[in-house]
Amino acid sequence: MPAVSPSDKTFQSRSPADGSVLGTYPVHGPEEVRAAVVRSRAAARRWAAAGWDGRRSALLAWKRSLARRMDEVAEAVSAETGKPLHDARTEVLLVLIHLDWAARHARRVLGRRRIPSGATALGQRALLAYKPVGVVGVIGPWNYPAHTPMGSIGYALAAGNGVVFKPSELTPGVGELLASSFADAVPPEFAELFTVVTGFGATGAALAEAGVDKVAFTGSPGTARKVAEVCARSLTPLLAECGGKDALLVGPDADLEAAADAAVWGAMSNAGQTCAGVERVYAVESVHAELVERIVRKARELKPGEAYGPLTLPSQLAVVERHMKEALAAGAHAPLGGPESLRSPFVHPVVLVGVPEDTAAMREETFGPVVAVNAVRDLDEAVERANASAYSLGATVFTGSRKEGLAVAGRLDAGSVSVGSVLGYAAVPGLPFGGSGESGYGRIHGAEGLRAFASARAITVKRFSRGTDLTSFSTSREAAGRMVELGRRLHAWR
């Protein structure tokens, strides 16, 4: 955990791999947070005046700068999370993909456009327009400290807003680097449009109370509830992404080698610290044993420290241990790993089989390199078990045909589903991302992600006068009545 100074005014970011100090950062209090919001709001007025073309140009300049500085950003991500550099570089690539899409598509999605007026309002020209919400407070996670918050930051900026970002106390350096890189890449008048405040939970609460116009939060459901309570006092809208317990479903005629590869990567990459990763596998009985054998073989080859890094949050080790021991005590068995797999700060791959559905390992987010592989009667049962979770974020389906895979995907409650691959949607910036239930609410990415940070505005412009005006007292009741009756008859027969 980060170390706090005796004065409680600064804290240190430390490497999860060896505990070395990476940097010292201020603990920002309510007054400092409010001041950051005020500065961002002032810059947002200039940002609005820049228009679609000016904002697009500035954001693409920032993107190009981040691309040139990829190694620098990736090294910061790797140092604070412990993930291998090649994983960190991939995370930065996702940042570039999404920032580019948001910058290039904001005008198309949010620009003013005509809407059919309808027969009753033929004399009106109807327009739909979007305006920025104002200043967005973003509270980010530590597992993907660049990609995940940028799903809110980049889209909020593209929609015309200012942003104040509170990164996780485990990854403040990544947050500050993102903000400083923005200031370096854009014209000086926009430098304080995107700013960072650092600290712990109290700083995040201060941000939610600082007069922002929307909060975008990523973290645990418990913390999301606390943020929601703060936002409720001022009716500040909240977008919440709160993790998952995602399932991978395998049919009897699936490509088992591909399914096993997806299961291992989805469960073990980033040390299992992926909200939309794979934590549960449901395989039809006829292929279950062979699938388990393939998963175990692939997972056994992984070497912590090379394939993936340590657990970024030290206390998560206790969660992984509790889930594993409870599952084994309840009758599950581990063809790979076990309690001996916990070698702080690393956890070696663990594969569990026959895990009772009522155990924590099947109900709660484990967030470690652990995967449970259970047998089911058929895909109907697999869908039923996958949907029984309190989480509804992502899912993966492997079947013998794309048509069947799509049919199964349509029956799942998850907000995002990949058929024939794992996390395929993560690299498609035009697709929305988000869940329901314990996974939160609202969407980032894609057109829905842009609209999440904008407010719809309806506009009508009178084109000509009709003989009967239903919005004027000068229209006689008889004429108005005839108009209403005409409308009634039209809708009675259409």
CA dihedral sign of residues 116, 120, 122, 128: negative
Beta bridge partners of 336: 351
Residues shown for the chain = 494
Taking phi over 0 as left and psi of -120 to 50 as alpha, with beta for the rest, 446 belongs to: left
Alpha-carbon distance of 62 to 64, in angstroms, equals: 5
- Residue found under tokens 């008048």: 189
- Clarify whether 242 is annotated catalytic: no
Query: Please, what is the Cα angle at 218 between 217 and 219, to 5 degrees?
Result: 120
- Using alpha carbons, select from 262, 287, 289 the residue that is nearest to residue 276: 262
Alpha-carbon distance of 266 to 283, in angstroms, equals: 15
Burial of 245 (0-12, 13-18, 19+ CB in 10 A): buried
| Strand ranges of the sheet holding 350-353, from the earlier edge strand across to the other edge | 333-336, 350-353, 370-376, 280-284, 247-250, 394-398, 416-419
Tokens matching residue 483:
């108009």
Element (H, E) at 353: strand 350-353
Instruction: List the catalytic residue out of 91, 169, 241, 438.
Output: 241
**Cβ–Cβ < 8 Å for 106, 331:** no
Tokens matching residue 263:
């299961």
**Cβ–Cβ < 8 Å for 383, 411:** yes
Alpha-carbon distance of 37 to 199, in angstroms, equals: 16
**Cβ–Cβ < 8 Å for 30, 161:** no
Burial of 261 (0-12, 13-18, 19+ CB in 10 A): middle
Taking phi over 0 as left and psi of -120 to 50 as alpha, with beta for the rest, 155 belongs to: alpha
Q: Which residues fall within 8 angstroms of residue 406, CB to CB, at 6 or more apart?
A: 419
- In eight-state DSSP terms, residue 120 is G
Q: Is 473 helix (H, G, I), strand (E, B) or coil?
A: coil
Pairing state between β 214-218 and 135-139: parallel
- Clarify whether 241 is annotated catalytic: yes
Instruction: List the catalytic residue out of 80, 176, 209, 275.
Output: 275
Residues annotated as part of the active site: 241, 275
